[in-house]
Amino acid sequence: MRQNKLSSINILNTIFTAFALLIAVAWVILPFYWALLNSIKKPADTFSNTFIPFIQFQPTLEHWLAELSIPEIRQALLNSAVISTGAATIAVLLGTPAAYALARFKFIRPRNSSLTTWFLSQRILPPVLFVIPFFLIMRELRLLDSVLALVLLNATFTLPFPIIILSQIIRELPRELEEAAFVDGASLWQALVLIVLPLVIPSLVASWIICMAFAWNEFLFALSLTTKSAIPMPVIIAGAEHTRGVQFWFVGVRTILTLLVPTLFALLAQRYIIRGLTLGAVKG
């Protein structure tokens, strides 16, 4: 009797877990499916309840061809690629020494914990607070509507990710490796470059991908500091409104184009991301 109850409970748990997973997968996939459908529908089909291509409607690539033929779209894709990769690279290059310092040195004023909290606070503060000050700074530096301005701003706001991630990973590495290098005459920078960095490559890649994704999706600063030359894809997506309303077919094409690059990066570096984020999570 007791075994029957346990088996019934296990079956209910399995059904509940499967149902929850199904809802989660649908929640994630449906927006992408909506964007893909609208990108291959004709304008008249966009406002009808049709979901199955070739059966309920005839798909078309005219919107893709029209969008890719627009110079502003191609320029926005290039701008997004330069901004995200540049910001991620700068953030990782600056964040790695800072993470090493937090992990290996003991600071007194301020303490290590206070520094970590300060870095985390950079991601908690609303970016809208900094729009006007950064606008005035970039205007004085004559960097308005420039890719360089967005690279610097995104690098600043994504810098906490490599610092926090890498500092936790480096703390898990045995100090004896670096001490042995010091005995052999290595300097601090040599120990960092030749000993520590090769051991944390997965975490470096994971940090870079996270920074790149956040910089790729950034909208507020791009909208406030660009007018023509440096407009990235998130601003282009928001510009699909026409005098007759929102052109959902163009929104779908631009959304898929915007998602394509970071998705490919994440798929190519998937094993590094998993290893990088889980390295040091279990201590034996």
Query: How many residues would you count in the chain?
Result: 284
pLDDT tens sequence across 109-142: 888 888 888 888 877 888 888 899 999 999 999 9
pLDDT per residue as tens digits for the range 2-19: 566 667 777 778 888 888
- Residue 75: how many other CB atoms lie within 10 Å: 16
CA pair distance 71, 112, nearest whole angstrom: 49
Q: What is the pTM of this model?
A: 0.81
> Dihedral of the CA atoms 259, 264, 265, 271 (nearest 10)?
130
List CB contacts of 237: < 8 A, sequence separation 6 or more. 251, 254, 255, 258
Contacts of 34 (CB under 8 A, 6+ apart): 252
Cα–Cα distance measured from residue 255 to residue 217, given in angstroms and rounded to the nearest whole number: 11
Are 239 and 202 a contacting pair, CB within 8 Å?
Answer: no
First to last CA, the chain: 41
Judge whether 155 and 87 are in contact, CB under 8 Å. yes
Using a 10 angstrom Cβ sphere, with 0-12 exposed, 13-18 middle and 19 or more buried, the burial of residue 191 is: buried
What is the rounded distance in angstroms from the CA atom of residue 195 to the CA atom of residue 201? 11
Side chain identity at residue 62, one-letter code: E
Query: Which residues share a beta bridge with 166?
Result: none
Overall fold of domain 62-278 = MetI-like fold (1.10.3720)
Tens of pLDDT, residue by residue over 26-67, are 888 888 888 888 888 888 777 777 778 878 888 888 888 888
Rounded Cα distance between 234 and 223, Å, is 9
Q: Phi and psi of 70, rounded to 5°?
A: -85, 125
- pLDDT given at position 247: 78
Whether residue 127 has a cis bond before it, omega within 30° of 0: no
Q: What is the mean pLDDT of residues 20-30?
A: 88
Judge whether 166 and 97 are in contact, CB under 8 Å: no
Question: Is 257 within 8 Å of 172 (Cβ atoms)?
Answer: no
For the stretch 71-124, pLDDT in tens is 988 899 999 999 999 999 999 999 999 999 888 888 888 888 888 888 888 778
* DSSP-assigned beta bridge partners for residue 248: none
